[in-house]
């Protein structure tokens, strides 16, 4: 089940509550913020015609609905496919579906609670704090590698390798596998694109099959000789006799590897762009650990890497007077909620000194990002090293965002420091 889809067309939507923005239109996905501002000024809860479901763009609703137990990421624990008209799974994406089957992101309690409890320990702040020196070292090594050049694509040369290597090493895979992991992951996330083609599905499925086969080999080795890594830990974890199955370990490792870098890469790119496009002196933005934290939070708020997540209504219900039937999909617009003028003063201004509270870039509720403490540390350390080492950093080509609307990140960020 790659993308959540609204299967029953909704009728009776009052025309004034309906809005259109084509997710594949570059004019939209390069800069979705004017659309968000229009919805904030008129109807923050609206029927998004192009997706065919209701969406929520205001902070209060997004934050509340992420925590609302009437809604879930999965529906098949309370309904059958036939009940809500979901299509049967396609055999040509069976390998991809298998990696998703036990993914935390597709589970609801009690299965979700069980799996999350077994994995969570590795990601608490106390554990990931120990990674700061390794992240700094990686950032320095990458800059050493390109500093002699005149310009570089910062996404490829700096933003992408750091989170990929860090999560690979945490799981227990060699750092030199990072490019291969990035390749599998990039091909798999194309399944979340709007209107996926069969060709894309086949390629994503092939990537999932190769990724899984690779992990099965590593798992077989770890069973024979366990190490101090997350994979060995997951294989051996036992809570009152409860252990993770091999498929659960594979789903979790794939999810951690995929979720563990995509959004962090995008936040680094978007954040560096926001900083360089502001008139602010980057030095002051990372001058103290406290200020580095605030700067990273503002990067996450101002140009979030993940803009839209969906939920199923698990019961017939109603939100803000909008009637919803069991199985209906709703869209929670994280990127828009972070720009809600009712929540953030001068919400369209990049201001790393603001103190008006948390954003929703990491979600909320039971699916709140397990990697948030790690991502924050990666962003604080890597961006500080970058601006310390290259104080003259500037953008030398207009940056462009990639064409998957809800994964809002730059394809390329050409910079120079001379």
Verify binding: residue 21, ligand HEM, rule CB under 6 A. Answer: no
Binding-site size, ligand HEM (CB under 6 A): 25
Integer Cα distance of 179 and 63 in angstroms: 35
Verify binding: residue 362, ligand HEM, rule CB under 6 A. Answer: yes
Verify binding: residue 374, ligand HEM, rule CB under 6 A. Answer: yes
Min. distance of Cβ 92 from ligand HEM in angstroms? Answer: 26
Segment 54 to 93, residues that bind ligand HEM, using CB under 6 A: 66, 73
Query: Contact region for ligand HEM (CB under 6 A) — 14-22, 43-51, 315-323, 357-365?
Result: 357-365
Out of 256, 292, 308, 385, the residue judged to bind ligand HEM by CB under 6 A: 256
Say if CB 379 and CB 296 are below 8 A apart.
Answer: yes
Q: Which residues pair with 318 in a beta bridge?
A: 323
Verify binding: residue 6, ligand HEM, rule CB under 6 A. Answer: no
Nearer to ligand HEM, 35 or 362 (CB): 362
Question: Closest Cα to residue 189, out of 201, 178, 177, 180?
Answer: 201
Question: Closest Cα to residue 305, out of 254, 344, 361, 261?
Answer: 361
Tokens 């509550």: give the residue: 17
Any idea what the Cα angle at residue 101 is, between residues 193 and 326, rounded to 5°? 75
Segment 149 to 168, residues that bind ligand HEM, using CB under 6 A: 167
Verify binding: residue 264, ligand HEM, rule CB under 6 A. Answer: yes
Verify binding: residue 255, ligand HEM, rule CB under 6 A. Answer: yes
Verify binding: residue 275, ligand HEM, rule CB under 6 A. Answer: no
Query: Contact region for ligand HEM (CB under 6 A) — 4-12, 27-35, 217-225, 358-366?
Result: 358-366
Out of 196, 209, 280, 369, the residue judged to bind ligand HEM by CB under 6 A: 369
Q: Which residues pair with 18 in a beta bridge?
A: 47
Integer Cα distance of 174 and 297 in angstroms: 30
Min. distance of Cβ 178 from ligand HEM in angstroms? Answer: 14
Query: Contact region for ligand HEM (CB under 6 A) — 36-44, 226-234, 237-245, 302-310?
Result: 302-310
Verify binding: residue 271, ligand HEM, rule CB under 6 A. Answer: no
- Sheet with 71-72: list strands edge to edge: 18-19, 45-48, 53-56, 329-333, 308-313, 71-72
Number of H helices, E strands in the chain: 19, 13
Integer Cα distance of 150 and 61 in angstroms: 47
Query: Contact region for ligand HEM (CB under 6 A) — 19-27, 48-56, 239-247, 370-378?
Result: 370-378
Query: Contact region for ligand HEM (CB under 6 A) — 33-41, 93-101, 198-206, 253-261?
Result: 253-261
Min. distance of Cβ 47 from ligand HEM in angstroms? Answer: 21
First to last CA, the chain: 48
> Residue 304: CA atoms inside 13 Å, Cβ hemisphere, count?
25
Verify binding: residue 309, ligand HEM, rule CB under 6 A. Answer: yes
Nearer to ligand HEM, 160 or 256 (CB): 256
Out of 7, 45, 76, 105, the residue judged to bind ligand HEM by CB under 6 A: 105
The DSSP bridge pattern shows strands 322-324 and 317-319 to be antiparallel
Min. distance of Cβ 113 from ligand HEM in angstroms? Answer: 9
Q: Which residues pair with 415 in a beta bridge?
A: 152, 395
Integer Cα distance of 21 and 29 in angstroms: 9
Integer Cα distance of 229 and 235 in angstroms: 10
Out of 305, 331, 335, 399, the residue judged to bind ligand HEM by CB under 6 A: 305
Segment 193 to 252, residues that bind ligand HEM, using CB under 6 A: none
60-84 b/e with 16+ CB inside 10 Å = b? ebbbebbebebbbbbbeeebeeeeb
| Residue nearest ligand HEM, CB atom distance | 371
Interaction site with ligand HEM (CB under 6 A): 66, 73, 104-105, 116, 167, 255-256, 259-260, 263-264, 267, 305-306, 309, 361-363, 367, 369-371, 374-375
């Amino acid at each position: 089940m790659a993308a959540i889809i609204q299967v029953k067309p909704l009728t009776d939507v009052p025309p004034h509550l309906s809005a259109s923005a084509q997710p594949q239109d570059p004019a939209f996905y390069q800069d979705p913020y004017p659309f968000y501002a229009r919805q904030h000024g008129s109807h923050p809860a609206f029927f998004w015609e192009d997706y065919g479901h209701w969406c929520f763009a205001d902070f209060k609703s997004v934050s509340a609905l992420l925590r609302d137990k009437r809604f879930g990421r999965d529906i098949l624990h309370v309904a059958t496919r036939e009940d809500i008209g979901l299509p049967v799974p396609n055999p040509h994406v069976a390998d991809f579906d298998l990696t998703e089957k036990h993914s935390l992101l597709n589970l609801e309690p009690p299965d979700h609670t069980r799996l999350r409890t077994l994995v969570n320990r590795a990601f608490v702040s106390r554990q990931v704090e120990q990674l700061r020196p390794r992240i700094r070292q990686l950032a320095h090594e990458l800059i050493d590698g390109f500093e002699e050049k005149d310009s570089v694509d910062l996404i490829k040369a700096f933003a992408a390798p750091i989170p990929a290597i860090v999560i690979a090493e945490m799981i227990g895979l060699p750092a030199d596998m990072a490019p291969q992991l990035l390749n599998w992951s990039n091909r798999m996330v194309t399944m979340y694109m709007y209107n996926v083609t069969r060709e894309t599905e086949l390629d994503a499925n092939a990537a999932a099959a190769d990724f899984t086969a690779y992990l099965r080999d590593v798992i077989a080795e770890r069973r024979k000789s366990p190490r101090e890594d997350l994979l060995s830990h997951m294989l051996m974890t036992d809570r009152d006799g409860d252990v993770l199955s091999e498929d659960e370990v594979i789903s979790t490792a794939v999810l951690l590897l995929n979720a563990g870098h995509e959004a962090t890469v995008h936040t680094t790119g978007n954040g560096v762009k926001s900083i360089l496009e502001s008139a602010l002196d980057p030095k002051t933005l990372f001058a103290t650990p406290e200020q580095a934290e605030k700067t990273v939070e503002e990067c996450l708020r101002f140009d979030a890497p993940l803009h839209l997540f969906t939920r199923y209504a698990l019961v017939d219900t109603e939100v803000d007077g909008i009637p919803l039937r069991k199985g209906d999909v709703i869209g929670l617009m994280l990127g828009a909620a972070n720009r809600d003028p009712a929540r953030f003063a001068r919400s369209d201004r990049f201001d790393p000194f603001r103190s008006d509270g948390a954003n929703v870039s990491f979600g909320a509720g039971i699916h709140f990002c397990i990697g948030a403490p790690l991502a924050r540390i990666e962003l604080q350390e890597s961006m500080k090293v970058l601006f310390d080492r290259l104080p003259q950093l500037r953008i030398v080509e207009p940056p462009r965002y990639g064409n998957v609307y809800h994964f809002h990140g730059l394809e390329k960020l050409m910079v120079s420091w001379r």
